[in-house]
Amino acid sequence: MEKEMKAAIHPEIKAQLEKEIAGMWFTKNFRSATAEEWYIFLPGYKDPQSGGAAGKVIIHYDLFGNRDIFINTTVIFDDPAMFKPGLHPLVYGLADELVNRLVGYADTLLSVHAGENSYNAEYKR
């Protein structure tokens, strides 16, 4: 099924997604017993005010040890260039990669904020 989804992405968007993922890096800004905050840096995007990170990821952890409770993850993209409706596959692909790298295989409730490309998703094992 993954091959089918990749085939549905326009070749230009797919190439851009691969470039952004290849150049993606992040730094941890804050950590507490229940949360982490990561700044996301992408080669083609940046915060318009500071010129820095293109966005951030906030991860709230389950401390109860109950595997039926989700990890709440929020991805916020700050670059307005990512708000264009035609870039939804790019935003989706970047958020998916961030969840895979930063949260892993835990059950996750995801909220992505990127203007018109905002969405909510559920990741289950």
H helix runs in 45-117, sequence order: 88-102
* Structure confidence at residue 1 (pLDDT): 40
pLDDT higher than threshold 70 for residue 63: no
Round to the nearest angstrom and report the end-to-end CA distance of the chain.
Answer: 16
Domain limits for position 117: 2-123
Q: How confident is the model at residue 125 (pLDDT cuts 50, 70, 90)?
A: confident
* Structure confidence at residue 9 (pLDDT): 81
**How many domains are there within the chain?**
1
pLDDT higher than threshold 90 for residue 105: no
Ramachandran assignment for 41, one of left (phi > 0), alpha (psi -120 to 50 degrees), beta (any other): beta
* Structure confidence at residue 15 (pLDDT): 95
pTM for this entry = 0.87
